Structure 1
Amino acid sequence: MTEINENQQFLTDLEKKLWNAADKLRSTLDASQYKHTVLGLVFLKYVSDSFYIRQDQLKAQFQDPEHDYYLDPEDFDGADSEEYQQELNTELEERDYYTEANVFWVPQQARWKFLQDNNKTVIGGAEITLADGTKKKFSSIGHLIDNALDAIEAVNPKLKGVLNKLYTRLQIDQTKLGELIDLVATIPFKHQSLDSKDILGHVYEYFLGQFALAEGKKGGQYYTPKSIVSLIVQMLEPFKGRVYDPAMGSGGFFVQSEHFIKAHKGRIGEVSIYGQEYNHTTWQLAAMNMVIRGIDFNFGKEPANTYTNDQHPDLRADFVMANPPFNMKEWDTGVKDDDPRWVYGKPPSGNANFAWLQHMLYHLAPNGSLGLLLANGSMSSNTKGEGDIRKALVENDLVECMVALPGQLFTNTQIPACIWFLTKNKGERTSATGRKLRDRKGEVLFIDARNLGYMKDRVLRDFTQDDLNQVTETFHAWQCSPDCHSREGGNLLEYADEPGFCKSVKLPEIQKHDHVLTPGRYVGAVAEEDDGEPFAEKMARLTSQLKTQFKESDRLEAEIKNNLAGLGYDV
């Protein structure tokens, strides 16, 4: 088995174990409560494991004569002396050793071992002796967990107000909460070939997906399938500059941007992260997602409505990516009709699709690019001025690429979706990644990806990496000049229209279709292979063949009737 397959098997086994075991605990909490109960404990387990991994590294360095941190036992009457062991333990508790390696400093009463050692003890209340010798009273397991989160917040200012301290208030049997701690303890954040952050990301992503299913439409507001996030990130290549998501959910676009940058040997420090989210608990999840990865971020002063309380009014981002709620109604309460964002027309009250799109354009830098996931209706609807807004976007040459997606990609909705890619500059220039872009003024690329992907289970569809690469490489080849190179250094394939999949279309043709942007209208059908037989001859041959088959059918029917009559049946 290859390393990739072994890693995938490890993650799959982990998924099954966690969800099956957690099933018995979910009966006492609804899905939305359970979501934050589990993810808060997963967070505590992760930061503790990372702390312990760093502690083991330090211990080895303190005992390595070749390392700068070496503690010479001869200075302490030998390695077995009490003085040496005390000094070693003191050094292992120095916070700077952890922060220099971008590892969370975790106070003793927030470490997983402390929780596991004491979670059964505090049921009904108990006094616990802390590492510094002081005693503290705990009223319950929930109190023990909230205390751990408080302790982490106190020494990690970026998390102030972010962690969801709800365990004391949970209406749940204490022994059940103790079982949940024991369950989360089985999540291994140490693996021979997988990074601990990747394991954490997978656990988070898996749980978020399952919670989206459990909570229905509402639960999926913060969850975008990883493959769709990856596709948008691969196509936009947010390699450096300002990255913005005005409907960020749990921060999936930012996490995938980090993966892209690292995979292409870039520096995460060259990217500035900006986001906004209305839901308070989801805003907290996003902040936790960033902090554990060491990504600096600006999510505004508070969770807020993007339309009525824009947290980044002066931002002009180089890359804007979002998956806002589809076809959102009554979005404009408190929004002025003459809002400066509505450059191309006021969006209707009954649907926020073009409000999201124009908000993102408003915050886009002159050479910026955006990718927006919307319902398919946005490509063709003429309801209450939507057609006029779409026409204005096309006529102002802002639309760069339209991608139609297959159905059944989302856990929370069956609404078919598409991706809009827009830019304010289609002129010849060099992209943020160093790619030479050709002059694409007056052109739009249409990609019909509805036939890509595979069914990962009975209800959900997904893309393979080859599917993602096919769409991405088509887009980049279309964008680029003939001598353009890929990020990996090789030449990109020269772009060519492919019937049934992609077509580069000029503005006059789009005008003929009344500015409808559905890819299927333009890419046509897959070309069938020419067998060399003239149409007239083929039609005559097939007609003759059909007559012969009709005659044979009549003969067989008569024979069957005769046989049945011989058996005494009246037919």
Structure 2
Amino acid sequence: MFVEVTMGAEALATSAEIARIAGKDRALIGNWRRRHADFPQPVGGTTASPLFSLREVEAWLQENKPDVRLSPEGKLWHALKALGDDLRLAQVLAATGAFIALVRNGEWQTLAHLSDEALETEVPAVVRKIFRGRAVFPSRLPAGTGPLLRDLAALARQQGAASLFEYFTTRFLEAQQRSYAASPPVLAELMSALVGSLPRTLLDPACGTGTLLVAAAEGNRRLLGQERDADLAQVAAIRLALSTDHAVVGIEDSLHADAFDGEQADAVMCNPPFNERDWGPDELAADPRWEYGLPPRMESELAWVQHGLAHVKPGGAVVILMPVTAANRRSGRRIRANLIRKGALRGIIDLPSSMASTAGIPAHLWLLAKPVPGSMPPPTVWFASAAENRIAEIASAWTAYLREPTAEPSIGQLVATMDLLDDDNDLTPARYLTGDGWDPTTVQSLTGEINDLLERIRQLLPREPRPDPLAVSLTTVGELAHAGILEIHRPGKDEQLWSEAKDLVVTPQADRLDVEVARQPTVLATQQTLIRINRRDVEPEFLAGFLRSAHNLLPSGGSSSGIRKELRKAIIPRLPSPEVQRTYGTVFRQLEEMRTALHEISGKGELLTRLALDEITRASRA
């Protein structure tokens, strides 16, 4: 049966998204646009990434390419996206999951006979009653979503509730990869393989949408997850509920409000948030979890490592993703030394950036085990390099190392613990993997990522004349604050400051202001400043662009109070019409995206050239 999807709000998609749901190559969509004058025109987006009406595209396909059909799940996803902007997409996904769970559990049968208008009122009431406040769901659905609910119910019954929700979650993570550094499926597969099949209770204390736990769901294994973002926690809970009857997901930050305090799991898997400066070093200074040392303010990841070790039984495993800098930062050398000296750190795996994160951030996997009281620490630490096609080999080599930590490994190198306990305690795998860095799969992955970034940069390069200079007088951030148009906030000593969507988060750099438009709630660091805009006719990207410019250079040095004063003096144009602000905001956003892409390609290019250099010099020594 083919489900015809009825669009409610206008569903929009890029050419790449159209190609995906049509099962065609992206280049073919571009070819149709060039060759057919009647192909639908863009209705939104930017010059580099135009948006098309799916309704118009589908009508054109039926007229001109009747053999090409848009997938029903693809059309449904874009119809769901149309219900909320990018900032609310997690809420839309969470609510969609709650409804799919309702369909799977059979409650839909009592609702299906209602009119569309009645569904929009009754479905929220039923969901709230069933989940008893444990699900994020609107009290009333937008008018016109009744047909969409029927299509969701029909497709969930046809494809299976778990399969359909996994599809939606995958599309969400792809669309939000700049906001959520999610775990790629191949990383989840590797981490699950490293944990093995023996652990009966498995914990992920920063589970996000639950990708790691879903990958490890098997048999009667008990799965525990915790996530501080309520929407993502609900997505994780529903994904797990559709896969197993033995899962619990808590909400809140694990470091500050541990939902499983006292729980001793058999293993912990975790992809924690990286580089969080205000993770709680002051209020958690005396916490008993810091058996290996108080984590430095700049080393939030070492807090997560010790949180994981505190939550496993003696001999229990901890597999945790870590930024590459955690292996050699001087601030963390004392804790690294203690982890090695006491036998907790057993191995580190170097990962290709594409395998480590959807954001393309290079990372390592740290493999730890909670020491068994009275046992001798192992004499070696295992270092290896991973590639997507070597998961089974790596897992097998890890299992063999755990059985005999002195036997020659089939993959990687063993390093004596005494050789790691020098002044730096540098645990970077490349130092010990002579010749292992040049892996064809890694190089191919890096090359592909660089080519993708180059294409993205080419799309973002300015092609149109820049906006005309604004013929308006100037004002300052302080004057706008005095007029009530915006507010300026700084984190307090004893309380956290959270950003909201469309807030400006300002971080002083060496000479300029680094200004980010918030896409999701985040905790501000102590040196950051938040600008909250109080009027809907003010475009955040417009303000952000002018604040980043050379007109607002910072004096070198100075106290935080001095920087606050300088921010209030920052010069911006008096606000023009919303249309003009949006024009400038679009240009500023594209420039910021290009800057980010250039920074990312620089890091990947540096890694690729180092790998090539190390391989050439290794060959010359042979």
Calculate the TM-score normalised by the size of structure 2. Answer: 0.54
Letter aligned with residue 424 of structure 2: D
Could you say which residue in structure 1 is the equivalent of 2:607?
none
Could you say which residue in structure 2 is the equivalent of 1:285?
235
Is residue 81–residue 92 contact of structure 2 (8 Å, CA) maintained in 1?
no
The structure 2 residue matched to 1:255, chosen from 206, 209, 214, is 214
Could you say which residue in structure 2 is the equivalent of 1:507?
417
The structure 2 residue matched to 1:164, chosen from 136, 152, 155, is 136
Report the alpha carbon displacement of residue 396 of structure 1 after superposing the two structures with TM: 1.4
State how far apart, in whole Å, the 2-side matches of 1:283 and 1:25 are. 19
* Distance 1:22-1:207 versus aligned 2 partners, 3 A rule: closer
Is residue 32–residue 215 contact of structure 1 (8 Å, CA) maintained in 2?
no
Is residue 18–residue 183 contact of structure 1 (8 Å, CA) maintained in 2?
no
Letter aligned with residue 479 of structure 1: L
Give secondary structure in 1 for the equivalent of 2:148. Answer: helix
Letter aligned with residue 172 of structure 2: F
Give secondary structure in 1 for the equivalent of 2:289. Answer: coil
The structure 2 residue matched to 1:41, chosen from 81, 88, 96, is 96
Letter aligned with residue 161 of structure 1: G
State how far apart, in whole Å, the 2-side matches of 1:524 and 1:185 are. 55
Could you say which residue in structure 1 is the equivalent of 2:128?
150
Report the alpha carbon displacement of residue 201 of structure 1 after superposing the two structures with TM: 4.0
Report the alpha carbon displacement of residue 496 of structure 1 after superposing the two structures with TM: 3.8
Is residue 381–residue 387 contact of structure 1 (8 Å, CA) maintained in 2?
yes
Give secondary structure in 2 for the equivalent of 1:321. Answer: strand
Letter aligned with residue 118 of structure 1: L
Give secondary structure in 1 for the equivalent of 2:127. Answer: helix
Is residue 247–residue 276 contact of structure 1 (8 Å, CA) maintained in 2?
yes
Could you say which residue in structure 1 is the equivalent of 2:397?
474
Report the alpha carbon displacement of residue 359 of structure 1 after superposing the two structures with TM: 1.2
Could you say which residue in structure 1 is the equivalent of 2:290?
342
The structure 1 residue matched to 2:364, chosen from 410, 415, 418, is 418
Could you say which residue in structure 1 is the equivalent of 2:351?
405
Is residue 440–residue 479 contact of structure 1 (8 Å, CA) maintained in 2?
no
1:203 aligns with 2:164: yes
Give secondary structure in 2 for the equivalent of 1:118. Answer: coil
Letter aligned with residue 366 of structure 1: P
Give the unaligned 5+ runs of structure 1. 1-8, 51-103, 123-137, 154-158, 263-267, 430-438, 453-462, 483-493, 529-571
Is residue 15–residue 206 contact of structure 1 (8 Å, CA) maintained in 2?
no
Is residue 296–residue 332 contact of structure 2 (8 Å, CA) maintained in 1?
yes
Could you say which residue in structure 1 is the equivalent of 2:152?
184
Could you say which residue in structure 1 is the equivalent of 2:588?
none
RMSD of aligned Cα (Å): 3.5
Could you say which residue in structure 2 is the equivalent of 1:311?
259
The structure 2 residue matched to 1:388, chosen from 334, 344, 356, is 334
The structure 2 residue matched to 1:355, chosen from 282, 291, 303, is 303
Report the alpha carbon displacement of residue 525 of structure 1 after superposing the two structures with TM: 0.5
Within-5 A mapping of 1:67-82: none
Instruction: Give deviations 1:445-490, integer Å, cap 9, x for gaps.
Output: 11111xx2xxxxxxxxxx3xx42112111111222259xxxxxxxx
Instruction: Give deviations 1:491-542, integer Å, cap 9, x for gaps.
Output: xxx96446xx5111111232358321121111210599xxxxxxxxxxxxxx
1:236 aligns with 2:291: no
1:30 aligns with 2:85: yes
State how far apart, in whole Å, the 2-side matches of 1:26 and 1:304 are. 26
Could you say which residue in structure 2 is the equivalent of 1:156?
none
Could you say which residue in structure 2 is the equivalent of 1:522?
432
State how far apart, in whole Å, the 1-side matches of 2:298 and 2:80 are. 40
* Distance 1:288-1:481 versus aligned 2 partners, 3 A rule: same
State how far apart, in whole Å, the 2-side matches of 1:258 and 1:402 are. 24
Letter aligned with residue 284 of structure 1: Q
Is residue 248–residue 277 contact of structure 1 (8 Å, CA) maintained in 2?
yes
State how far apart, in whole Å, the 2-side matches of 1:332 and 1:349 are. 8
Calculate the TM-score normalised by the size of structure 1. Answer: 0.58
Letter aligned with residue 442 of structure 1: P
Give secondary structure in 2 for the equivalent of 1:446. Answer: strand
Letter aligned with residue 108 of structure 2: R
Give secondary structure in 2 for the equivalent of 1:391. Answer: helix
Instruction: Give deviations 1:123-172, integer Å, cap 9, x for gaps.
Output: xxxxxxxxxxxxxxx4xx43232023135x1xxxxx4322222151x5x4
State how far apart, in whole Å, the 1-side matches of 2:296 and 2:391 are. 33
Give secondary structure in 2 for the equivalent of 1:187. Answer: helix
Is residue 166–residue 239 contact of structure 2 (8 Å, CA) maintained in 1?
no
Give the unaligned 5+ runs of structure 2. 1-19, 25-68, 439-622
Letter aligned with residue 191 of structure 2: I
Give secondary structure in 2 for the equivalent of 1:276. Answer: strand
* Distance 1:374-1:16 versus aligned 2 partners, 3 A rule: farther
Is residue 381–residue 416 contact of structure 2 (8 Å, CA) maintained in 1?
yes
Is residue 202–residue 223 contact of structure 2 (8 Å, CA) maintained in 1?
yes
Report the alpha carbon displacement of residue 314 of structure 1 after superposing the two structures with TM: 1.6
Give secondary structure in 2 for the equivalent of 1:354. Answer: helix
Could you say which residue in structure 2 is the equivalent of 1:324?
272
Aligned length: 375
Could you say which residue in structure 2 is the equivalent of 1:114?
111
Could you say which residue in structure 1 is the equivalent of 2:185?
226
1:444 aligns with 2:367: no
* Distance 1:234-1:310 versus aligned 2 partners, 3 A rule: same
State how far apart, in whole Å, the 2-side matches of 1:523 and 1:321 are. 25
Report the alpha carbon displacement of residue 398 of structure 1 after superposing the two structures with TM: 1.0
* Distance 1:251-1:183 versus aligned 2 partners, 3 A rule: same
Is residue 100–residue 165 contact of structure 2 (8 Å, CA) maintained in 1?
no
Is residue 39–residue 204 contact of structure 1 (8 Å, CA) maintained in 2?
no
Report the alpha carbon displacement of residue 32 of structure 1 after superposing the two structures with TM: 4.5
* Bigger-Rg structure (1/2): 1
* Distance 1:25-1:291 versus aligned 2 partners, 3 A rule: closer
Is residue 341–residue 358 contact of structure 1 (8 Å, CA) maintained in 2?
yes
Is residue 314–residue 373 contact of structure 2 (8 Å, CA) maintained in 1?
no
Letter aligned with residue 398 of structure 2: F
State how far apart, in whole Å, the 2-side matches of 1:342 and 1:319 are. 18
Moved more, 439-448 or 37-46: 37-46
Is residue 299–residue 326 contact of structure 2 (8 Å, CA) maintained in 1?
no
Is residue 203–residue 268 contact of structure 2 (8 Å, CA) maintained in 1?
yes
Report the alpha carbon displacement of residue 323 of structure 1 after superposing the two structures with TM: 0.9
Give secondary structure in 2 for the equivalent of 1:403. Answer: strand
Instruction: Give deviations 1:163-202, integer Å, cap 9, x for gaps.
Output: 222151x5x4x22x234324424525456xxxx4xxx444
